[in-house]
Structure 1
């Protein structure tokens, strides 16, 4: 009887140990969960379709709109940093890097 209980326990607990272990398949990392706050859409000033947005001035003459409607940027929060790096070949063009905190 004890042997049957042990075998039954192994069959019941085996799937739990396999699913709880981190799974790496072909160099992929997989996460399970849910997105609590959606990301903030960012675009040039005047290009967003949302009626709720705020403007951020990265440098003089370069303004970006940040969507604030029901996402991580609402309620005066800005959970990201933005930087502008000008291109060496142009004075008015560059790369905007957005990093979420």
Structure 2
């Protein structure tokens, strides 16, 4: 008698449990939402063809150009930080790291 009453509930909950269980996404990460501000293009001075740009000095003698035309770096804001690390194998080459805040 108990089996007859429990069986419909089990049959009802079984499909729900299958949908609630996390599935394998083959290592994929998915995001939902929208991009509110586009990113800022950063390049060596003179490389950008943007209508509006701004030069930023990372260290004495090293400047980069930041595109400020209708993006997150417009309106005098600069939501990025930049650092420079010289390569040990060269005196005039290095790595510029750009981090969005």
Q: Same fold (TM over 0.5)?
A: yes
Q: Counterpart of 2:87? A: 87
Q: What is the alpha-carbon root mean square deviation over aligned residues?
A: 2.2
- For 2:53 and 2:28, how far apart are their aligned partners in 1? 36
| Length-normalised TM-score, structure 2 | 0.75
CA deviation digits over 1:5-48, x for unaligned, max 9? xxxxx9xxx7xxx6xx9876111110111111000000001110
TM-score relative to the length of structure 1: 0.75
Q: Which runs of 4+ in 1 moved over 4 A?
A: 21-24
Gaps (5+ residues) in structure 2?
1-11
Contact kept, 8 Å, 1:23 with 1:30, in 2: the verdict is: no
* Structure of larger gyration radius: 2
Equivalent residues, number: 85
5+ residue gaps, structure 1, are: 1-9
